[in-house]
Amino acid sequence: MFAYNIGLVLHIYGESVSFSMHENYLIKKEVEYCLDIGNNWVTRYFFFFSSYRGGVQRMFYRPLFNFVCLAMILAHGLVEDQQSKMGLVQALFLLLLLLSLVARPYRNAHTNLINVCLNLLFSLVAFELNLKITGFKSTLFVDKYFFGMQVLESVFVWFTVFVYIILIYRIKATWNVNKAYISEVTAGQELAIAYILKAKAFKARVLRRREYTEEDAHEMQSNMEVLEKEFNRLATKQPIILDSMLETMEGLKQMRKNYEGEPDIYSFDYKRELDGVVRDRPKVYVHAPL
């Protein structure tokens, strides 16, 4: 678990453009993935930290939460004194509560509210258990009432969360990046998106066929011309699909350079050649004619 979270921290740090522009960059990649004009969302594992807003304490909230959970396990395993153990656990729960209140890490406000409520419940339970262990005297802290009180608290908070989730469903709350948002941020870019999809389909077809013909060269030139035209039209507006358009154009240029510069390498069909070798190889044993 420790190695996993260290790896997660390094991944988030390595993939982040900047702490301040984190959310805008993720939204751009999310939109590209939804439109099928970019795969960075999946191939670079942005979904590991895509639910969190920008800022160090927010972007790294997930590994921080996991490290606190690991610290609780170590506290239970290494600290023998019950009072010290419970005090340490209570401090860790309080740390999570303060972090969730101050940072409000999630991009979705409903998720932040549920997170705060649950952290508040766990902090309250840990506080009551700590009082119980230290010998606090009260009628409610008698054994037959104490655990009943904690059950009621937990049931109340979880029932409240359940009702809130139903409310979210009723008001039709949606994720930040939905169909309406994508339509809004890509307004006026529909033609460019269609050209990108067409160019990507052309590239995939050539790579799958492993053959670059004269017709492909003409289609390549046509794709490059329309993409460059759309790029010049939209460049000053800084559209959300600009990165995907540049990546597509660079990919086409590199493919044309490969197929036209080294046709013997890039147009070589390894599977067909291997099939031919297997089919035409000299036979070791041949039946003698009757």
Cα separation of 177 and 188, whole Å? 18
pLDDT for res 131: 87
The b/e string for 236-248 (b: 16+ C-beta within 10 A; e otherwise) is eeebbbbbbbebb
pLDDT > 70 in the chain, percent: 91
- The arithmetic mean of pLDDT across residues 161-190, rounded, is 87
pLDDT of 162 > 90? The answer is yes
The verdict on 12 and 149 lying in the same domain is: yes
pLDDT of 270 > 60? The answer is no
pLDDT for res 122: 92
The verdict on 215 and 135 lying in the same domain is: no
- Whether 275 is covered by a domain: the verdict is no
Which residue range(s) make up the domain with 83? Answer: 2-170
Cα separation of 227 and 164, whole Å? 47
Measured CA distances, 82 to 79, 108, 136, 140, 275 (Å): 8, 38, 15, 21, 71
Say how many domains are in the chain. Answer: 2
Smallest CA-to-CA distance from 205 within 239, 247, 171, 255 is with 255
- Whether 289 is covered by a domain: the verdict is no
pLDDT for res 133: 85
The verdict on 201 and 123 lying in the same domain is: no
The verdict on 197 and 137 lying in the same domain is: no
The verdict on 149 and 260 lying in the same domain is: no
- Whether 86 is covered by a domain: the verdict is yes
The verdict on 149 and 247 lying in the same domain is: no
pLDDT for res 94: 93
- Whether 26 is covered by a domain: the verdict is yes
Q: How confident is the model at residue 285 (pLDDT cuts 50, 70, 90)?
A: low
The verdict on 139 and 25 lying in the same domain is: yes
- The arithmetic mean of pLDDT across residues 186-195, rounded, is 90
End position of a domain, from candidates 125, 142, 170: 170
